[in-house]
């Protein structure tokens, strides 16, 4: 017989308690404390990590593996990812012993209806992201009370004031344990923990998304400069207010 879950306290109250748990902390210590608090069922409820298995993703995956390797990890496979990312996803999951990787894809019928030739990214990248990322993740997040992302404030002006714990439009708590991390901190953490590195890092890629929309960055460029280069697009839509009614990571 299934046991009913006790009702969660109001979201604002839980966010206040989550913020109290990270008071006075910084760096990796803050991130781990944020995750620990969020994984407390009384505070975070049912939580998933949304991961792109991109450049820095292994940092959060490693922390989650230390706390609860059975936590659901949602991986959006747009079917336009680099083969290296797919290979890396398997390598990291095995290395860390992650037990619940859920691969999320757009339904075949929807792809055939809206992007039969697979070139929508070229003509309308916002529609492509909505089809291949935003809508699939919205469906996958149904039933979760919170989701963990790997976003950092320094990555974009749109993220400059991002809190560690925030609300979304779907009555979920969004958890950003790396919000306050500075450039280079993730790479140092990966080295110190001897974690597997994404193979494209050695080829000049610094932020890694879908193959058609990602290029290497040059010396001195912003790490996300290679995403949608020349297209005037900076976010995939997973984190814009209009789409926070149910989706995920650090794309
Ligand atoms: S990043 Fe590019 S290819 Fe990937 S879903 Fe968005 S527009 Fe499509």
Q: Which residues of the chain have pLDDT under 50?
A: 241-251
Looking at the CA of residue 81, tell me the nearest atom of ligand 1. 4
Q: What does the pLDDT look like over 146-162, one tens digit per residue?
A: 999 999 998 877 788 99
CB 250, CB 54: distance < 8 Å: yes
Instruction: Give the residue carrying structure tokens 């919170």.
Output: 146
* Predicted pLDDT of residue 243: 37
Distance CA 207, CA 200 (A): 9
Looking at the CA of residue 236, tell me the nearest atom of ligand 1. 6
Q: How many CB atoms are closer than 10 A to CB 6?
A: 8
* Predicted pLDDT of residue 108: 97
* Predicted pLDDT of residue 250: 41
> What residue owns the CA closest to ligand 1's atom 1?
210
Q: What pTM was estimated for this model as a whole?
A: 0.91
* Predicted pLDDT of residue 3: 58
Distance CA 127, CA 114 (A): 9
Q: How far is the CA of 131 from the centre of ligand 1 (A)?
A: 9
Is the CB–ligand 1 distance for residue 210 below 6 Å?
yes
> What residue owns the CA closest to ligand 1's atom 5?
129
Distance CA 121, CA 79 (A): 12
* Predicted pLDDT of residue 2: 52
Residue 72 tokens read as 């659901």
Q: What does the pLDDT look like over 24-37, one tens digit per residue?
A: 999 999 999 999 99
Is the CB–ligand 1 distance for residue 225 below 6 Å?
no
Is the CB–ligand 1 distance for residue 236 below 6 Å?
yes
Q: How far is the CA of 62 from the centre of ligand 1 (A)?
A: 26
Question: Any catalytic annotation for residue 129?
Answer: no
Q: How far is the CA of 103 from the centre of ligand 1 (A)?
A: 17
Is the CB–ligand 1 distance for residue 15 below 6 Å?
no
Fold of 11-15+25-243: Rossmann fold (3.40.50)
Is the CB–ligand 1 distance for residue 213 below 6 Å?
yes
* Predicted pLDDT of residue 227: 83
* Predicted pLDDT of residue 225: 83
């Amino acid at each position: 017989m299934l046991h009913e879950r006790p009702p969660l306290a109001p979201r604002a109250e839980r966010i206040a308690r989550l913020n109290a748990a990270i008071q006075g902390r910084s760096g990796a210590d803050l991130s781990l404390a944020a995750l620990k608090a969020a994984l407390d069922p009384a505070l975070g409820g049912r939580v998933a990590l949304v991961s792109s298995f991109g450049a820095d993703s292994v940092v959060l995956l490693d922390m989650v593996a230390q706390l609860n390797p059975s936590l659901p990890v949602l991986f959006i496979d747009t079917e336009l990812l680099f083969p290296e990312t797919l290979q890396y996803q398997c390598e990291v999951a095995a290395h860390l012993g992650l037990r619940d990787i859920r691969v999320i894809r757009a339904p075949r019928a929807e792809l055939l209806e809206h992007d039969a030739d697979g070139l929508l990214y070229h003509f309308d990248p916002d529609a492509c992201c909505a089809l291949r990322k935003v809508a699939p993740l919205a469906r996958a997040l149904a039933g979760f009370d919170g989701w963990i992302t790997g976003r950092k404030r320094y990555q974009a002006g749109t993220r400059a004031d991002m809190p560690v714990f925030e609300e979304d439009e779907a009555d979920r708590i969004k958890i950003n344990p790396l919000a306050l991390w500075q450039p280079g901190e993730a790479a140092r953490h990966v080295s110190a923990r001897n974690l597997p590195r994404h193979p494209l890092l050695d080829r000049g890629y610094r932020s890694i998304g879908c193959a058609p929309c990602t290029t290497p960055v040059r010396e001195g460029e912003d790490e996300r400069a290679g995403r949608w280069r020349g297209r005037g697009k900076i976010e995939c839509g997973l984190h814009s207010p209009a789409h926070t009614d149910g989706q995920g990571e650090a794309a």
